[in-house]
Structure 1
Amino acid sequence: MEGNFSNRVQDVIRLSREEALRLGHDYIGTEHLLLGIIREGEGIGVKILRNLGVDLSKLKRAVEDTVRSMSGPLTIGNIPLTKQAEKVLKITYLEAKLYKSDVIGTEHLLLSLLRDEDNIAAQILGQFSVNYDAVRK
């Protein structure tokens, strides 16, 4: 699924996997994708969050507090994406198309996380007054 993903988005996906393992999860969910965006720290997605006044360390803590597993870090080889995370990654293609971009960047990933308000990442971002319309501006 790495088709037109920028190097940054590929890094975010790799970091998301590390975050899932660190939190003791055997899946990669939207929350891990959000943590990956934060941890990557340089993409347009992070710049948008900063411009919206989001304290990234508080956002990271909010995600971790919401999803922290009772078990310690895992070391499994292949951990799957949840259906929601897969859907988010597919939507990034549409977001990139809307902006007439040939490459999918972290801003498109952030927008696709927010497009479906039912996922954990969107709900936590909502606590920080971040929604799809605010990011699109």
Structure 2
Amino acid sequence: MFERFTTDARAIVVAAQETAREIGSHNIDSRYLLLGLFDTNDSTTQALNDCVDNFDDARTRLLDRLAGSGLDGDALASLGIDLSEVTERADAVFGSGALTSSRSPKGRIRFSQDAKKCLELALREAIRLKGSSIGTRHILLGMLRAECPARSELLRENVDVAALRSTLETQRAA
């Protein structure tokens, strides 16, 4: 399937892999693909940017959530523990990235089921839109169609999924 990806779409997958490795994740879920989309500079990213308030802040918040994903900030907060304060203190005492750097994965990082589903749906979107290749807009359309963490992140940012989907469907191939 990857042979059908455009150069930009492949760059998203590579960026997802690199970010997962940097963070120390043992798998790549759809949120890593979303981060790759945030870092692309094309009409798909522009459409996403138009739908997200404070686009750069949204990317940073997502990256922060992924970097701290081994600890559940909401669960800790319910116990009166501020995860960001704990992270800051750990970094001050043990060095930057103390809570995340020790879990760096070795070897190949695998795609989670939800990331695979997004990429499968990207193929289906490309076929539906009569495209000969899978582009960045198809990946985002696949995310919008799937029930996945990336879609949840977009909803968390108050993205109007129907409006974004409509914009992407009327775009020229990206």
Match of 2:37 in 1: 37
Larger Rg: 2
Match of 2:140 in 1: 110
Match of 1:86 in 2: 116
Task: Show CA shifts across 1:79-121 (max 9, x none).
Answer: 100011011111111111222111111111011111123x211
Q: State the Cα distance separating 1:53 from its structure 2 match.
A: 4.3
Which stretches of structure 1, 4 residues or more, deviate above 3 A after TM superposition? none
Q: Structure 2: which amino acid aligns with 1:122?
A: R
How far apart in 2 are the matches of 1:53 and 1:79?
29
Match of 1:120 in 2: 149
Q: State the Cα distance separating 1:42 from its structure 2 match.
A: 1.3
Unpaired runs of at least 5, structure 1:
none
Task: Tell me the percent identity.
Answer: 25
RMSD in angstroms over aligned alpha carbons? Answer: 1.8
Question: What count of residue pairs does the alignment treat as equivalent?
Answer: 135
Q: State the Cα distance separating 1:28 from its structure 2 match.
A: 0.7
| Match status 1:130 vs 2:159 | yes
Q: TM-score, normalised by structure 2?
A: 0.70
The alpha-carbon distance between structure 1 residues 49 and 65, as it changes in their structure 2 partners (threshold 3 A), is: same
How far apart in 2 are the matches of 1:81 and 1:52?
27
Match of 1:60 in 2: 59
Task: Show CA shifts across 1:14-60 (max 9, x none).
Answer: 00001111211011110100011112x21332111122244321121
Q: State the Cα distance separating 1:131 from its structure 2 match.
A: 4.6
The answer as to whether partners of 1:63 and 1:121 remain within 8 angstroms in 2 is no
